[in-house]
Structures are given as C-alpha cells and as structure tokens.
A and B are shown apart, each in its own frame.
Chain A
Amino acid sequence: MESGKFEPTILTFTCNWCGYPAVSLTGLHHLTYGPGVKIMRVMCTGRVDPAFVMKAFEYGADGVALVGCRMDDCRYSEGNKRAKERVEALQKVLRYIGLGESRLRTEWISASEKDKFHDLINTMSHDLAALGPSPMPKVTTEEQPRFNKKTIDALVGDMAAHNCVECGKCTSVCPVAKTNKDFSPRVIVLKALEGVSESLSKDRDIWECITCEMCNSMCPYEVDYSGFIQGVRAEAFRLGNEPECSQGGLLNSMMRIMAVTEKQDRLGWVPEDVKIAEKGDTYFFVGCAQHLDAVFFDRNLNLVKSSISTIKLLNHAGVVPVVSNQEVCCGHDLNWAGDNENFEKLMDRNLEAVKNSGAKRIVFACPECYRTWKLDYQDLAGDLDYEMMHVTEYLAELAKDGKINLEAKGKDTVTYQDPCRLGRHLGVYEAPRDLLNLTGVEIKEMANNRDKSTCCGVSAWLTCGNAAKQMQIERLTEAKGTGADRLLTMCPKCRIHLDCAATKQTDVEKSQLDIPMEDYITYLANRLGL
C-alpha cells in the first residue's frame, strides 16, 4: 500500500447465515478495518476445505479467518463443528511449516455480534502487523512465467524414449491400463515423439500414470517411462496444465510454503527418551510424517511412530543420528506434479541442511524421500558425496558387523508390501526381508512380490480414483490370501492409501481383505522391545 504501512491481507471465510450478516452489520455501523481484509462467503463454514485455507496462504495471504455460527446454532446442525476440527488440524500444520498457527483464527458468533467480528479482525491485523507479512510472495495479476529446464526433445533423448519400438509390453503390465482402457504409456511417448507439444497443455492422461515403474522394469529397450512422464508433466505444468490433486491440493500447497518459510517446527514429535544430535556422521532424513498425521487427523495412523521407531532402532545400534529442524519436505510430490521450480527450492534447502550437519551418510525411513534424494536430487544437483541408504539397508549392514542385536521373542507371520519407490525404483528388496528373518519372523510372500509388487494405486496425490480403488482391493485381497497375521507397509503413502481402501471401500465384503496393517519400522522396533 502506498502509505508504506503494512496492511495485512486477511482472507475471511464467512458462513451465509451468521458470519456474513455480522460483516454487513459491521459495515452498517461504519466500524472500520484494514483494506486487506477480504470476505469470502460460503453457505457454511463446514464447506471450507482445508485446501482453501492452505491455498490462500500459498497465494500470499498474511492471515485467514473463519467466521461462522455459534457452536450449537449451526444452520446445518454440525458444519461449524467440522470446520473447528479442521482448523485445529490446520493450525498444527501451519506451526510445523513455519507460518505459525496464529495466522489462522476463528470466531463463532451470532448474526448480530458485529463487535466480535470487528474485534477479531482488528486483533488479528494488529498481531499480524507485529508478526510481519507472510514470507510467501503475493500472487500478482500477471501469471509468473513458469519454466521447465528441459525441452521435450532433450527429454526424449535423456529418457531413451527414441528407443521405443511400440512393442506394447509396457501397456500390458501397466496397472492403470488394466482399468482405464484409454491409458497407455506407449501412446504418451508416441504423442511426444510426434511433437504434439500443444496437446500437452490440455492432456489429462499424463496425470493418470502412477509412476510405479512396472513399465520401466519390463521395457526391453530400457526406456525410462517414469522419467519421461515427469518431464512431460513439467512441460505441461509450464503450459498451465495442472493436475486435480486429492485433498484439493492441500499437500502441494504445504510444500510450496515450506520452500520459503524460515521458522518451522519439525521436531515436536521427538520424545524425551531418544538420542539425537545437531551434528554427526549419520543424518536421519525424517520427512513429513508429522504433517501427514495432522492432515489425516481422523485416520489415526500415527505415522510419526515410524520416525520415532527409526531413531530407536538406530540408537539400539549405537548410532545417534542427526535430526534437523532445517530440513524441509523432500518435494517428491511436487516433482511428480511437474512443479520443478518449487521442487528445486526444496532441494536446495535440504542440501544445505545436510551439509550443515557435517554428515557423511544419510539414512531414510520413507522410500519416497530416499528415491527423491538418490535419483532426482542427484539428477539436478549432480553426484552428492553422501552414502545414502534406507534404514533397513543400514541396519542390515550393522547387523552383519554385529553392532545390533536383532533377537526377538515369539514367532509371527507377516506379508510385506514392497513399495514402488524402495523396490522397483531403487532395487532394495532383500534388506527388509533379511531383518525380519533375523528377528524370527516368517514372511508369507504375496505372489506379486519384489519387482512384481503392485502399487498402492496412488502417486503424489494425483491418481485417487476408481483404477486406484481396484488396485487397492486386489492388493489387499492378495495380502489377506497369504494367510499371514499382518501386512507390513514400508511407505507412509502405501499405508495411507491401503488403509483408506481397507476401511472405506464398499465394493466387496470386509472379510475379503481385512488383514491387520502395520508400519514395518514400528513393527520391527516393537519386536525388539524398543
């Protein structure tokens, strides 16, 4: 604003019945407030999708408010209660990602309580003036030109796409092609080879691929399809073709914000009884389990337990890992959504964080973070001078050197879901199995195991739909069919998506696929009594 005074931009969602009239009444009484306060009317605050709030912050809002009816007065019975729950979860996320929970506030009032609305806005404006503007730049009318470093031609070369002989093997093993007759990896390559760049700005098919790399593993000419898809998506994104993400794009907005903010809170989950350090040889790249737990607050997945168990296992082996608050999301999902610019920002911050720790080795629990560092970061930043391994690979190594005691009591039978990222993408199949065997667990393998393992159906929040549901039902049925006591998942995404299908599908009888599901790392730690 021209006066030089910071006028916070506060996007205020108001419900149609109490919030909006209160705003009008405020105006009627000429109670003034800052010009940055903008009102968005919805029928009920229960309509306010968490993605709307995060999108507002992504666009550069300094604050967001929800103004709805008093708790017992919702015109739709409980919409405001849903809104309240979502806001509480969002406030946690805002704290974690460094924007701060005080930027999101609520007020539950009756239509006549103009003073309460006015006080909320003024208090918020005052607090935000002290807190300072959001670190996210405000969007401008001019769409910033998006860029993509690689042209399609360069992409074709890099991914060996010109090797494609149209044999169709990729399509025949593609799990998406099985349910979606219009989808074919081969055809996507063909379109690009024919130079139809224009269609990329409109093509929706490119978002259907689940990047499981089943095609890669089968292609006789070693065409890198998944790499190709990523490149094509980056170009499409540049041309304004954006995917329709699950959760309304909430997660992607969070990641874009993490690329910019300073005052994150990523370590609140670390319990008292584990040992971590700020500097050391081994860096544990944690990832975003905490954030996912907040977003999926009603699913009780406790993904953070996996991170805690990783540290416990490392401590058990005498290793005190570096766990850093400077870390940010690895950016895996942005990468696969074609948002190269923000992906690189996240990468730069992570490279900095690990460098500052002095570590020589990076250990990962999340297969997606691991793949992203090992393949995608090194693709962009060149060879990184770190030994990168999954925690199971590291523990297996330590076990061989006698540094960790893997004795456990009692027998158990499990079946194991090889994640795409750890399995086909990185070739790590045996370490997780060896560790289980060493603790006395019997593995009852699904027929489709190791490089044949079927994907959980959803990649980077892009592909949740009926094809995914079919895959999930088939996979869970297969898991149950092994007769194992439980299904172990290694990847938080597998966990989220398979759990969703297990608890919320309505196609088949629950008994067909109700095998108990657990996180592998937590399970392992439990077996060792940690």
Chain B
Amino acid sequence: MNPEKGKAIGVYLCAEGGEIRNKIDLESLAEYLRQFDDVVDVGIHNELSSREGVDYLIGRYLEKKLDRILIGGAVPAIQGMVIQRSLSLAGMNKYLFEMVNLREQCAWVTPNKKEATQKSKSIMLAGLERIRRLVPLEDVIVPVKNCVLVIGGGVAGMAAALQVANAGFKVYLVEKEKQLGGRAYRLETTFPTHNCGICCMAYCKECIFTPKIDEVHDNHNIELLFNAEIDQITGGFGNRHVKVKQNGESKEFDVGIVIVATGSKTFDPNKILAYNYDKNKDVITTMEFVDLMKNAEKSGIKRPSDGKTPKTVNIVLCVGSRDQSHGNLHCSLVCCTYAIGTAKEIRRLQPDTEVYVHYIDLRGPYRGFEEFYNEAREMGVQFVRGKVAEIINDDGQLVVRAEDTDSGFLLSIKSDLVILAVGQEPSLGSDKLSKMLHVQTDVDKFMKDVNPMLPADIRRGVYIAGCAKGPKGIRYSIDDAKSVATEAIEILKTGFVTMDRIAALVNEERCRGCGRCAEACVFKAIEIVEKNGRKIAQVNELLCEGCGVCSATCCNKSIDITNYRSSQIIPSIRSLILEVE
C-alpha cells in the first residue's frame, strides 16, 4: 500500500538537552528520515518544548508550509501536549500531530548506542506511517444544559445541591423517602465530636458547617421530588433526559449533569442467623439504639423488651463487614468510631452499666480517634478482642458467646442489650442506576468513580458523591459532595465542554447491520438503524468513548476508530518489525 503523497510532513528530533542525543545518533536518524518523499523538512533541536523550541517549530511549520508534524522526543502526554497546543494556535490542526517517545522508549532503556539508533529509526518510521494516515478533525463542542440532577437527599446530596443552587443553577433533587437527611437525620450526636459538630439536623443559627434541611427547602433553585425514584435516564453528555416515578406518576425533565448521592444502606443482620436478631427484641442495630437514645437523657436507657435499664450492654463490631461468608468482605470504615461513641454515651448516662465492645481490630482512620479510644477506656468501656460467634436466648436471658483471643478464654457473657454495629452496603437500586448511567462498580459493589486525574469530559457529566462510592463518615461525605459540586459548577459556568474526536466511524457502504458492534459496546453508543432501505450501525458520538472494542469485533471491518484505524495500525506494525538498514 503506498502512502498518500502530497502531505507535507515535517519531522523534528529533540535532543532533550543531551538525554536523547547521548544515546541516539540524531544526525544518522535525521539522514534516514530525509529519504522519504513526503518528509519535506527534518530538523534537530535541543529542547523542543521550550519557548524557543516551540518558536522554532512554528517557524518551520509556516516557512515550509507543512501539513503535519512528527516529533521524536519524550512523553507525548506532557511534552507533546505543550507543543501540540502551540502549533494548533499557529494554525495546524491538532489531530495532525504525532510524537514518538525516543527518550523513555529508546534512549533511556537501550545501553548500546548503535542498537538505540537502529531502534530509533524503526520507531520513527512507525510514527511516520501513522502520521501519514492521520485525518484532520475538529473537536466536538458539546453544549451542557445548565441544570443538575442530584439523586439522593442525604447529607451528600443536600451538600451538592446547595452548592450548585447557590452558584445560580437549577437543581432537581430526587429523594425516595418523604424527607431529606437520609440516615444522618436520625442521629442525635455524631462522633468523634459528641455534639452537633459536623452534621446534625438541629437548627442552630451559629452553625456554618452543615447543610440544613430548611436551607434546601427554602432555596428557589432546588426543586424537591419526594417519594420519587429514577425510572430511566437516557441521552448523552450534556443533555440527559430523566424520567422519574413519583407516587405512581411520571415526571420528565432534561439536565446537563447528574450527581449520584444515593448513599449506602446498613447491613441486614438477619443474614447472620447465629445472632438471632429477629428472635430477640433486645438484639438491635446501632441505628435502632439511636432511637432508644432519644429519651435517654431524661429517662435513662430503656431496653425494647421490657423497658428495664440494661446492666450489661454488648456492642458487636464487624456485623456484615469483613465477613465473606455472611456479609461483605469490605470494612465499613466508620463502625469502630460510632461503636466506641455509643459505648461512651452509655457509660456517661449510666456509669453502673457494664459495656463490652467486641472487635477483631479497632480501626479509626480519622483524626481524633486515638484520643477518643483512650477516653473510652478511661470511662471503663471494656474492649474484648474476638468476633462474636453467636447470641442466644437462654430461657429469657441473652447470652453473647465469643472468644477473648488475648487471653484465650471462651466467654459467655449474660447480656441485657446487644447492639450490632452493622456495616454499610450500596443502597437498593444502586445496581440498576449504575447500569443506567454506565458507571462501573467496584469489587465491593459500590460505584466506582473515574480516576480523578482524568479530565472532566471523560466523566461524561456523571459524578458520584458520598457513600454511594464507598463507606465513609458524614464529614467526608459532605466534603466529597462539595468537591464534586465544584467540578460540576465549573462546567455549568462554561456551558459547554470540548470533547476530542476519537470515536468510532461506520463505513456505511460496507456495514451489514449485523449488530455485533452494538452488542459489544458497553457504553451503548451504537444503534442499528435503517438508512436508505438498509440496516446499518450508527454511532452516537457523545456516548462513544473511543475504546475500539467495536472495531476489533467487527467481522468485515466496517467500523473503525478515527485515527486508530486498522489501515493505520498495520503499516505501523510493519515498520516496528522490519529490519531497518
């Protein structure tokens, strides 16, 4: 296959201040490159990404009337970007730029200079074959609708919604319960600060940290939808069509950005039969204990079965966490903290009550934990290392069985009240939602957020905030939601994003409309449509991520990724393998 002639290519080698020059004979390489008809200019420069280097390149580009430029230098993502940007400002189409890494892939890894020079010829030739076949393109400008959908009205959802609304943009906040606040709403105190601290729902004028329920209600930019669940979200980046089911009725609207703040749910202790949770009124979860605590200040702690004050309370950690056989393998991060806090509260209100905390490890990744734990011990909370094996009812008396692994003794503790520190799991419906939004889930089934180092457009306008992407404390959920909201606001303020054009392209004449590509695409970016009386594949550029799985799947190669086409890759493969003279 002969490459197209008539495309004026300039090839420039960067000496990288000696890093490349020391290991590769650049003069010999330049000589080698000059032999090709379509290479009209070859140059060597000391540091191409410097101000002076870029000026040099722009000069050559204009003087030699170049069409495209190939650089032999260092890392394309860093050095290359700098050069590419400057050249595009000078008028060169940014897609007609290619950079070969002569430093990391050749000079720095090949000790023998002759071998390195030979290799450099081979990889520059491959770059040449590639650049010959590059197609000039324009970035796609995607308008982003200036409103946001926040799914979930817990602390993260509220924090995100308020931030976005206060920046002047409309927010639809969809919440499946009939009120805001999520799980944190039920809490009276939070740990480790023991007071309103970071997030309670009490109304204190002085507080500046928490997202207040009233604030959310009062904000004109926030439209609240209670008893509502997401039915369907379609569309692509910048314009998503949302269908909500509210009290049996449908409601539809369009948004530009989606923030998922669906939080987590607590583990259902019924899954651990040995704890006999449903058989005993006095075996409760920590959330249920929070409800008991509501009147405890005045009337003391009263246990559910008979209202008596418990004299012995056992708090069981890792219920459903770090438990592959009955629950989830992952650690839920916050249980140790809140369990210790609960223990301290009980000791504070009822110094006569014995409190045991049964643990495997005590994990406190947050500040203040060590001090908190020491205080608990000073208050007389007893920490027993050993996972609770079973909780039984011996003729009306609850007994907690565990091994004290420090002493080796088997314990049977008569308990009046057992509190299960249940772990966190992804909330109900989270699976369906992640599929709808093409959000990946991690090994623990929580949603996976995209690598934060990747540019915004890669997220395709979908963000995850708070516990939806993994167990965390209240403060951290809020911080997370705020940072997510900040990113979203950046995009909303601009009103658009520019996306690169690496996307699949269909050869409509050749395509059979068989649908293999559509099936293979995890982003659902390909549809089989009827065109001119025939079925063919059609790509939605806004959904296409440019991975190329469709191209490799297609049997007769009628779908291909722009600028990563088979017809580009194969000649490059050939260049990389052939024996260079």
Contacts and interface: CB of A to CB of B under 8 A. Distances in A.
Contact of A72 (B101, B443, B510): B443
Which interface residue of A78, A248, A505 has the most chain B CB atoms within 10 A? A248
A47 B557 contact: no
B552 A28 contact: no
Interface of B: 1-2, 75, 77, 101, 103-105, 108-112, 114-116, 118-119, 122-123, 126, 438, 440, 442-443, 451, 454, 502, 509-516, 520, 522-523, 528, 534-535, 545-549, 551-553, 555-557, 561, 564, 566, 569-570, 572-574, 576-581
Contacts of B77: 21
Interface string A45-75: 0111111100110011100000000001001
B574 A507 contact: no
Interface stretch (A95-103, A161-169, A239-247, A446-454): A239-247
Contacts of B555: 246-247, 464, 500
B110 A47 contact: no
Contacts of B114: 2
Interface stretch (A137-145, A302-310, A426-434): A137-145
A86 B548 CA distance: 14
A246 B556 contact: yes
Interface string A16-41: 00000101101110111101101110
19 contacts: A1-B118, A24-B104, A27-B104, A27-B105, A31-B109, A33-B110, A39-B105, A43-B561, A47-B551, A48-B552, A56-B577, A60-B577, A75-B451, A76-B549, A86-B552, A140-B578, A244-B556, A246-B557, A500-B514
A464 B516 CA distance: 14
Q: Size band of the A side of the interface?
A: 35 or more
Give 9 closest A-B pairs by Cβ, nearest first. Answer: A27-B104, A47-B548, A76-B547, A38-B576, A35-B115, A46-B549, A504-B514, A44-B547, A464-B556
Contact of B534 (A3, A244, A466, A500): A466
Contacts of A248: 557, 566
Given A26-B109, A30-B108, A40-B126, A59 B557 contact: no
A507 B547 contact: no
B272 to A, nearest CB: 27
A33 B111 CA distance: 9
B438 to A, nearest CB: 7
Nearest to B439: A77
Nearest to B438: A77
A300 interface: no
B137 to A, nearest CB: 15
Nearest to A134: B577
A42 B564 contact: yes
User: Which of the listed residues B104, B111, B552, B570 has the most CB atoms from chain A within 10 Å of its own CB?
Assistant: B552
A52 B570 contact: yes
Nearest to B441: A72
Contacts of B579: 138-141
Contacts of B115: 1, 7, 35
Contacts of B1: 240, 242
Contacts of B516: 504
Given A42-B548, A46-B552, A247-B555, A59 B573 contact: yes
A290 B548 CA distance: 28
Given A2-B114, A32-B111, A43-B564, A11 B576 contact: yes
Given A55-B570, A242-B1, A464-B555, A35 B118 contact: yes
